Structure 1
């Protein structure tokens, strides 16, 4: 069966989380903390991403959305950097993850792909977060799937399989698109088709995956390249 739908990792694959978070950190804290390196804060915050979700994946904690987890991780990061902020600034910092910009080719490539395929995010971000990023970057989705829909976090199989079910497809008919080989390996284990998109600067210049570290069905230099390979 041909590919009928594409589902996407979002943070890193579609949006440049590091630059966006660094920008917001420096905007909100820079006046009180001259010379603060927003990139270092973003890196420290992201380093707490997987550990925070693991508590839920392991069943040690009830479901909580990414805003909640980001807020809890932020408190640790602020302590690490010796920063003190008001509740209002803390709230705005959490919303930094809602104000991320897409990589330059992404909106146009998604518009092309949507002419041929069903499209949905398959992210660890919750629905409100996915809506904010879509509106900011003028992205039109056919559905919003992922963590909140499955009430669990990738790479748990339920997250991928619930998305396939919601789209009315077989696993192989759905193409998981990501710049993280671990995400793609988990999707492939559930029977999904997979596409790796290189994001060599995800974690800063020269600090991202340039090629897959697991078998995939498509290897693309960016999302426009993937659209070309899919004849979109």
Structure 2
């Protein structure tokens, strides 16, 4: 089977998860947490703090999707989690309002994986390529611009006022791109994201990011994630989708 023959039939657009799939959230957040903590005179392990912050990501959004709290965009959820974590670590007094705002904006400034820009550029030659993320619209705009990522458009969960893996963000993306759900390929390194996309009728592609959660590992693996196809990175995905 050739690379092109392995591509799901009828795909017209490709949507990419951002945190972890397109950018290295852990390295970016850990480095910025460490820098701000040193400036504030606080002792914090940047990597451990980033991990703890990320652990609150899905639960905080689940409360919104479950109706336990009103809609709030991701910066607000990150700020709530940050305040709780700083107090839990006993360093809350060291971080003033300006420092806390800077830490929330750390999620706006994250390094792309080395293959991301090249792979996206190749895929754009054949498909509409969109970012589809739980990040807020302003966050994603700043992140994509700073990282130099060649997306055709940004589709934030903020547009649906629901968070992935709820069906609404996936179906909103298909509607705004004027394609049927089955004509939209969702690319992610997370099984939960692809499961949500599949339940909404999208096609799915798993991209491995073994270093997403740092040196300790724990990232999802292709063998454990049902998907229409799997790729080693974005350039391999471009090969499999027949993009020169």
TM-score when normalising by structure 2: 0.91
Would you say the 8 A contact 1:150–1:158 is kept in 2?
Answer: yes
In structure 1, how many angstroms separate the alpha carbons of the residues matched to 2:176 and 2:234?
24
Partner of 2:222: 211
Partner of 1:127: 137
Distance 1:212 1:157, change over 3 A: farther
In structure 1, how many angstroms separate the alpha carbons of the residues matched to 2:112 and 2:40?
29
In structure 2, how many angstroms separate the alpha carbons of the residues matched to 1:35 and 1:48?
21
In structure 2, how many angstroms separate the alpha carbons of the residues matched to 1:81 and 1:120?
38
1:172-187 superposed matches below 5 A: 172-187=182-197
* Aligned Cα root-mean-square deviation (Å): 1.3
Would you say the 8 A contact 1:181–1:212 is kept in 2?
Answer: no
Would you say the 8 A contact 1:13–1:199 is kept in 2?
Answer: yes
In structure 1, how many angstroms separate the alpha carbons of the residues matched to 2:172 and 2:43?
45
In structure 1, how many angstroms separate the alpha carbons of the residues matched to 2:40 and 2:130?
40
Would you say the 8 A contact 1:5–1:117 is kept in 2?
Answer: yes
How many residue pairs get aligned? The number is 232
Partner of 2:111: 101
Indicate whether 1:64 and 2:76 are aligned. Answer: no
SS in 2 for 1:30: helix
Q: Which has the higher contact order (CA 8 A, sep 6+)?
A: 2
Partner of 2:241: 230
SS in 2 for 1:133: helix
Indicate whether 1:41 and 2:52 are aligned. Answer: no
Indicate whether 1:2 and 2:10 are aligned. Answer: yes
Q: Deviations over 1:126-166 (max 9, x none)?
A: 11111111111111322221311111101111111111111
Partner of 1:27: 35
In structure 1, how many angstroms separate the alpha carbons of the residues matched to 2:23 and 2:197?
20
Mean CA deviation greater in 25-34 or 117-126: 25-34
In structure 2, how many angstroms separate the alpha carbons of the residues matched to 1:40 and 1:201?
15
In structure 1, how many angstroms separate the alpha carbons of the residues matched to 2:163 and 2:42?
37
In structure 2, how many angstroms separate the alpha carbons of the residues matched to 1:219 and 1:129?
28
In structure 2, how many angstroms separate the alpha carbons of the residues matched to 1:149 and 1:212?
33
Q: Deviations over 1:83-141 (max 9, x none)?
A: 13010000000000001011111011111111111111111001111111111111132
